[in-house]
């Protein structure tokens, strides 16, 4: 480990007792070391109903995997919950659980958190993205002796979780428009998150200080650590989520007349890494590209240190993450190597278009509008496709024609293809980037495994 005078987050100040808190110079918070847990090898005492639920859930998950029906990440947990409705809180008891929520970045950040925690002890995670209660149960059942859990949770389901138990740490990443016909407006989600964290006063909340909607959700909580990564997508945060007043430019130290304001940062994301409490800089050196993944990694590192982790050991594990449930993977589709990128709403399309702008590799855009995507694709008009001018693009998916019209108005040349395979067949040179929204991305991951 590097010889630093002070370690960040929950780590010990050299020369001070391990249980002595120290003042945080930026926000006045006082941090206290939580010693890393040791795996409890003793079998958990479960009642007959709970034991039956776990066995039935595991059997259903195994059968789903064996017969090619799915990963088992939902069906096993759903069956187990139907047999024991209190199973989630029973499985969470005695573990340190990190919950990760937000519109974008949940799956990648959850995987980073899981790896960072595994530097200390075994950790379970819902790596397939099954992010509701049945998925949480399925993940927790996989290894009963794991003292840690990193769980992705749907934004509207966090309140259901905190009604049942208080996670050790809650990560609030960001909020923007997504699946409006299912989720509703951003303020509705922000209010749900505010209720969720208020139900867990003993949890530590690690939140994005640059997103007014997240600040609104977390500001009243007694234990908040603020992450600053910059505000790139601003269009869903121009009005105060508390009173509705116009905030204007939210890229700096914004403040509303009602008192809601951008708080001081505990962690700041830089061009190369992250600066934590005490001004210690951590060189992230990630395998995953882009500034957005430096933000995700900073959240993961802050969570790991909050639970007693060593920064060097945690970062070594985070650096090994090179994909997350297929995101950023290079795969073979119809005999062609392609890089898969997920973008499902204007904020995430902004990040992915920025990522591919640095290359001249072939580009295929795929958009569906099925139930899991949201049927409304009017959000296509909020994306700055103009950055693709001068570049040839192929489009496919259920809403290829809608996408082609939007690109036409952006003065981007686009070829409409009946399938992604046809689109790839018309490209030459380099490894094509394929940016797809949720169900289109999922289908491509499945086809790449055949």
Instruction: Map tokens 């945080």 to a residue.
Output: 24
Q: Biggest alpha carbon distance in the chain?
A: 66
Q: What is the Cα–Cα distance from 208 to 215, expressed in whole angstroms?
A: 7
Return the C-alpha torsion angle 216, 217, 220, 221, nearest 10.
Answer: -150
Is 258 within any annotated ligand binding site? yes
Go through the chain and tell me how many residues it has: 450
Which helix or strand (DSSP H or E) is residue 205 part of? strand 204-208
Is 163 within any annotated ligand binding site? no
Q: What is the Cα–Cα distance from 276 to 29, expressed in whole angstroms?
A: 13
CA separation, residue 78 to residues 66, 88, 90, 97, 283 (Å): 18, 11, 15, 20, 41
Q: What is the Cα–Cα distance from 69 to 269, expressed in whole angstroms?
A: 41
Q: Closest Cα partner for 261 from 278, 280, 282, 247?
A: 247
Q: Closest Cα partner for 72 from 94, 82, 57, 85?
A: 57
- Please, which residues have CB within 8 angstroms of residue 310's CB and are 6 or more apart in sequence? 1, 7, 11, 119, 120
| Chain-centroid distance, C-alpha 177 | 15
Write 235-240 long-range contacts (CB < 8 A, 24+).
235/176, 235/346, 235/382, 236/175, 236/176, 236/177, 236/186, 236/347, 237/175, 237/186, 237/211, 237/212, 237/213, 240/212, 240/216
Strands 267-269 and 224-228: parallel
Q: Which residues are catalytic?
A: 376
Is 396 within any annotated ligand binding site? no
Other beta carbons within 10 Å of 81: 19
Is 243 within any annotated ligand binding site? yes
Annotated binding site for Zn(2+): 240, 243, 256, 258
């Amino acid at each position: 480990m590097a010889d630093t005078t002070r370690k960040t987050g929950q780590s010990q100040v050299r020369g001070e007792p391990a249980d002595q808190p120290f003042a945080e110079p930026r926000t006045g918070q006082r941090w206290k070391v939580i010693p890393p847990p040791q795996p409890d090898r003793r079998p958990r005492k479960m009642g007959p109903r709970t034991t039956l639920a776990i066995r039935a859930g595991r059997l259903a998950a195994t059968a789903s995997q064996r017969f090619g029906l799915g990963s088992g990440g939902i069906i096993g947990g759903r069956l187990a919950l139907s047999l024991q409705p209190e199973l989630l809180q029973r499985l969470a008891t005695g573990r340190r659980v990190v919950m990760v929520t937000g519109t974008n970045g949940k799956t990648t950040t959850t995987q980073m958190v899981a790896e960072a925690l595994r530097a200390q002890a075994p950790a379970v995670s819902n790596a397939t993205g099954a992010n509701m209660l049945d998925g949480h149960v399925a993940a927790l059942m996989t290894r009963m002796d794991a003292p840690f859990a990193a769980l992705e949770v749907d934004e509207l389901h966090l309140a259901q979780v905190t009604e049942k138990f208080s996670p050790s740490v809650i990560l609030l990443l960001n909020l923007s428009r997504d699946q409006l016909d299912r989720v509703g407006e951003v303020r509705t989600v922000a209010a749900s998150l505010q209720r969720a964290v208020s139900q867990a006063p003993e949890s530590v909340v690690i939140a994005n200080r640059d997103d007014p909607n997240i600040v609104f959700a977390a500001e009243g909580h007694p234990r908040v650590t603020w992450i600053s990564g910059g505000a790139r997508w601003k269009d869903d945060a121009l009005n105060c989520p508390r009173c509705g007043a116009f905030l204007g430019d939210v890229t700096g130290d914004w403040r509303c007349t009602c008192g809601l304001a951008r708080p001081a940062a505990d962690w700041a994301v830089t061009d190369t890494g992250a600066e934590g409490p005490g001004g210690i800089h951590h060189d992230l050196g990630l395998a995953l590209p882009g500034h957005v993944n430096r933000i995700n990694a900073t959240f993961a590192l802050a969570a790991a240190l909050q639970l007693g982790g060593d920064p060097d050991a945690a970062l070594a594990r985070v650096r090994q993450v090179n994909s997350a449930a297929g995101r950023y993977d290079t795969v073979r589709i119809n005999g062609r190597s392609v890089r898969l990128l997920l973008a499902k709403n204007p904020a995430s399309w902004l990040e992915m278009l920025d990522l591919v702008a640095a290359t001249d590799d072939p580009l295929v855009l795929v958009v569906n509008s099925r139930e899991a995507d949201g049927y409304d694709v009017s959000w296509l008009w909020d994306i700055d496709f103009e950055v693709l001018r001068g570049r040839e693009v192929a489009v496919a998916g259920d809403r290829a024609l809608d996408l082609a019209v939007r690109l036409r108005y952006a003065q981007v040349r686009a070829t409409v293809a009946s399938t992604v395979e046809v689109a790839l067949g018309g490209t030459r040179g380099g490894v094509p980037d394929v940016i797809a929204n949720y169900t289109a991305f999922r289908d491509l991951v499945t086809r790449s495994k055949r």
